[in-house]
Amino acid sequence: MSYTLKSILFWFISFLLMASAAIYQRTTGPTYPVRGTIVIDNEEIKYRLIRTWEGDTKAEVKIKVINEQILGKYRFKRFKSHDEWSEPIPMQRDGEMLVAKLPNLPPAGKIQYEVFLGKENNLTLVTKKTLILRYKGVVPQWALIPHIIVMFLAMMFATRTGFEALIKGKYLKNYALFTVILFGFGGFLFGPIMQKYAFGVYWAGWPFGTDLTDNKSLATFVIWLIAWLQIRKNPNRRWWVYAAVVVLFITFIIPHSTMGSEIDFTQTEAPPAIN
C-alpha cells in the first residue's frame, strides 16, 4: 500500500477515534444529566435531571408528567455544608411539565437535591442516589466553540502522529509539532478563559487545585512537548510518541469536569443564605 493510501486510512481512523472520544466526553462525567425511567401508577415517566446550571437564575429541574394526578416534590441542601435538608417543596405544574426551582449559588457552588413523584401520600424517590448540581458562570460561545474544536483536533493529530511513528513516516516531526501547538492553544489559551468565565479563576489544576480537566491538559501538553523535542533531536526516539499517545487516551478516559472547582461551604464563616 502506498504512503498516500496509508495516510488517508490513518486520518480516517484518527477521525473515528476522535469522534468516539467526543461522544464519550459528552455522555459521561459528573455534570452530565441523569436519565432514566420510573413507573408511577402504571404510567412510565422518563426523566432527565440536570447536574449543571449556567447563569445567575434559579436552576430549573423539569420532568414531563402528563397525568395531572401525579404530583412532585423536591428538597435540597448545599453540598459540602452543615445545612439540613429543606422541607419538601411542591413542584409547580407548567403544562405537561413539573418544575422544581433550586436556589441559585455562586459559580462553583454545588447543591444536592432529590425529586419525588406520586400521589399526595405515596411519593417515590425518582433516583436512588442524591443528585449534585454545580453552578457556573456563562461561558461565551467565542471561547467555548474554539476550545472544543481545537482540543478534539489536537486529539486527532495526536492519534495520526502515533500512526506516523509506527510507519516511520516523513511527517512525524511536523505532526508532533502541530499536536503540541493545538494542545497549547486549546488547553492554555481558551481553557483558562473558559475557567475564568465559568468559575472565576484562570487555572484550577496543579499546583493550585485538583481540577482533573486542567491537570489532564497539563499532563497531555507536557508529554507531547517532550515527545516532540525528543524526536526533533533524534527521529528514532519514536517510543516517546507512543508514550504520549498512551497518556492522551488515559486522560480522555477520565470524564470531563471530574474533581472540578467547588466551594466548600463548611469553611465559610458566614455562609450566604440560599433563596
9: its cell numbers: 486510512
Using the predicted structure, report yes or no on whether residue 186 has a pLDDT greater than 80.
yes
Using the predicted structure, report yes or no on whether residue 99 has a pLDDT greater than 90.
yes
For 59-85, the pLDDT digits (tens) are: 999 999 999 999 999 999 999 999 999
Whether the Cβ atoms of residue 194 and residue 149 lie closer than 8 Å to each other:
no
For 141-158, the pLDDT digits (tens) are: 999 999 999 999 999 999
Q: Per-residue confidence at 271, pLDDT binned at 50, 70, 90?
A: very low
In the chain, where the domains are located: 3-28+139-253, 34-136
State pTM to two decimals: 0.83
Q: What is the CATH number of domain 34-136?
A: 2.60.40.10
Mean pLDDT of the chain: 91
Using the predicted structure, report yes or no on whether residue 274 has a pLDDT greater than 60.
no
Question: Of the candidates 197, 189, 257, 194, which has an alpha carbon nearest to the alpha carbon of residue 25?
Answer: 257
For 187-197, the pLDDT digits (tens) are: 999 999 999 99
Distances (CA, A) of 187 to 35, 193, 215: 30, 10, 10
Buried (b) or exposed (e) across 195-230, using 16+ Cβ within 10 A? Answer: bebbbebebbbeeebebbbbbbbbbbbebbbebbeb
